[in-house]
Structure 1
Amino acid sequence: MKKSDSFLIAIKASIEAGKSIMELYEQGKVKIESKEDNSPLTAADTASNNVIIEELKGTNIPIISEENKQISYIDRKDWPFCWIVDPLDGTKEFIKRNGEFTVNIALVQKGVPILGVIYVPVTRELYYSDVKQEKAYKTVLNKEHILTRELFDEKDRIIPTISKKNDLIKVVGSRSHMNQDTEDFIKNLRMDFNEVEIVSKGSSLKFCLIAEGRADVYPRFAPTMEWDTAAGHAICSAVGLKVISKRTNSELKYNKDSLLNDYFVVRK
């Protein structure tokens, strides 16, 4: 199967998953359970995961998903390619009903994200990128979650806007995970910039903000898993941004022994 075919399947999977999430979101009350790590799980997480797994299985590429039983590293360490999936990134935002949740799908080759898809079901914004082509796009679907224009249209190409204010830096923060390390990072920035503006967003939308140039830096000094970041990493990489591990000072890697990420910073 060609990479382009896999890309289109991933895009379709994200949209169909988003539709399944919205069916439950629009019902209002959703039953909430707790997973072993005490993170929330809803029927929307499960419904989205089922849709994605069904769509992606035709690619014959193995899948790492937050909602699947995890595969041992011995069995997956030699995979040349794998999908990394978060069927509902921002479950807490889903529960809060603020619309800031996404569907994340990334194709990883030997630890490096090469394709990324993020779908925002509430706003119907579809972000997608081909890292090797150094191109990322943002296409908005109609109210029925149907594409009204061709994918990969140059009009939808993400060209980051560059701030003309050299004394201002915009920092992406999390609505749910601001902590002392992040506060210290921001404090240090205040020594170099006259003004530091905090831009708060949930889920992988933080990666989308910085990819579009609506923010300058995204520090994440709280635990994340590979499925939280792989798709956003691919979108940022396609527009020339780096996702740097605080521990190694190199870019995050994927399909590791531990699927837990290092703390990281997204920047140019």
Structure 2
Amino acid sequence: MLNMDILQLLPIAKAAGAAILKIYHDPNQSNVVDYKADDSPLTLADQAANEVIVAALRKNFPETHIISEEGKDIPYEVRSKWETFFLVDPLDGTKEFIKRNGQFTVNIALIENGKPVMGVVYTPVTDTMYYGQAGKGAFKQVGDAPAEALKVNQKAENRIAVRSASHASHEEEEVLNKYGVTDEMSVGSSLKFCMVAEGKADLYYRHGPTMEWDTAAGQAVVLAAGARMYIGNTEETEFTYNKENLLNPGFLVLGF
């Protein structure tokens, strides 16, 4: 693993969150548009956060490559040779940002040999940080309070599923029935992974498309908390990164 500690990523995520909030709370930007049009508040927030993250990562880890939503056009012939790289979504939760419900996040993950080995999911509006590192566990920190260790529930019955606040599918129902889900909760962005990591939910299934930067940090956190994540709706193939097409297939997260 790259010679670094997950704690080195926390101030970077917080600085990106501050850049987002400056635009989010700007009264001149109050009419948030629902598309990433040029110069929209959402686009400006994306770009501002991305600039903060990329600059900090390049300064602190100059030899480690970066793939981000705002800089995604790196040819596969180039990045396929990368064993280690950062995978960044500077602002995850487009619809949550537009709705102004606060459920959007800053995501930073470190990928090694296709697997997320550490990740940070930061919610700027509530100043809540979720982070996890392979072999070292997962944690949640709110503001300046001490960090709390996270662990999945391991529930055998009466399971709770976390579902998207903005997306849903018929296929989800079949999976939830298969695993004996009796209740559900809804939340936006990468916070769905975090709900499983802290034991508030037991399962997260996503049928619809996502991009690699949407899931990497959340997966790192939930795996560090003891969960498993698979491609599709069966427990057969582990979910990995740096595919030729950065579009993700469906996936299943199990906290038991």
Q: TM-score, normalised by structure 1?
A: 0.85
Alignment of 1:48-67 (within 5 A): 48-58=49-59, 59-60=61-62, 61-67=64-70
The DSSP-based 3-state class of the residue aligned with 1:3 is: coil
Unaligned 5+ segments in structure 2 are none
Alpha-carbon shift at residue 139 of structure 1 (Å): 1.0
**Aligned-pair distance for 1:148?**
5.6
CA distance in 2, matches of 1:178, 1:2: 37
Q: In the alignment, is the contact (CA less than 8 A) between 2:152 and 2:227 conserved in 1?
A: no
Given the alignment, which residue of 46, 69, 73 partners 1:70? 73
> How has the CA–CA distance of structure 1 residues 30 and 15 changed in structure 2, closer, same or farther, with 3 Å as cutoff?
farther
Corresponding residue SS for 1:108? strand
Q: Are the structure 2 counterparts of residues 184 and 13 from structure 1 closer, same or farther at C-alpha, using a change threshold of 3 Å?
A: same
Aligned counterpart in structure 2 of residue 253 of structure 1, from 236, 240, 255: 240
Alignment of 1:140-159 (within 5 A): 140-141=142-143, 147=144, 156-159=148-151
The match for 1:202 is 188
What residue is the counterpart of 2:11 in the other structure? 12
**1:1-268 counterparts in 2 under 5 A?**
3-4=3-4, 7-28=6-27, 29=30, 32=33, 34=35, 41-58=42-59, 59-60=61-62, 61-133=64-136, 135-141=137-143, 147=144, 156-161=148-153, 163=155, 167-189=157-179, 193=180, 196-246=182-232, 249-267=236-254, 268=256
| AA matched with 1:120 | T
Change (3 A) 1:215 1:79: same
The amino acid of 1:22's aligned partner reads L
The alpha-carbon deviation at position 216 of structure 1 amounts to: 0.8
Give the 3-state SS of the residue equivalent to 1:88 in structure 2: strand
Contact 2:120 2:132 (C-alpha < 8 Å) held by counterparts:
yes
Q: CA contact under 8 A between 2:162 and 2:201: conserved in structure 1?
A: yes
- Mapped to 1, the partners of 2:178 and 2:150 lie a distance apart of 30
The alpha-carbon distance between structure 1 residues 18 and 259, as it changes in their structure 2 partners (threshold 3 A), is same
Distance in 2 separating the partners of 1:104 and 1:67: 13
Q: Give the residue type in structure 1 aligned to 2:85.
A: C
Identity of aligned residues (%): 43
Match of 1:144 in 2: none
- Aligned residue pair count: 247
Separation of aligned partners in 2, 1:245 and 1:224: 12
Measured in 2, the distance between the counterparts of 1:113 and 1:119 equals: 16
Kindly provide the amino acid, as one letter, of the partner of residue 183 in structure 2.
E
Structure 2 letter corresponding to 1:117: V
Deviation at 1:183, TM superposition (A): 2.6
Supply the AA of the counterpart residue of 1:258. N
Check conservation: 2:151, 2:226, Cα contact below 8 A.
no
Distance, in Å, in 1 between the alignment partners of 2:197 and 2:2 is 26
Q: Deviations over 1:111-166 (max 9, x none)?
A: 01111111111111111111133x1111111xxxxx465xxx5xx21133455xx5
CA drift of 1:167 comes to 4.3
The amino acid that maps onto 1:18 is G
Structure 1 residues not aligned, in runs of 5+ = 142-146
Let me know the Cα RMSD of the aligned residues: 2.3
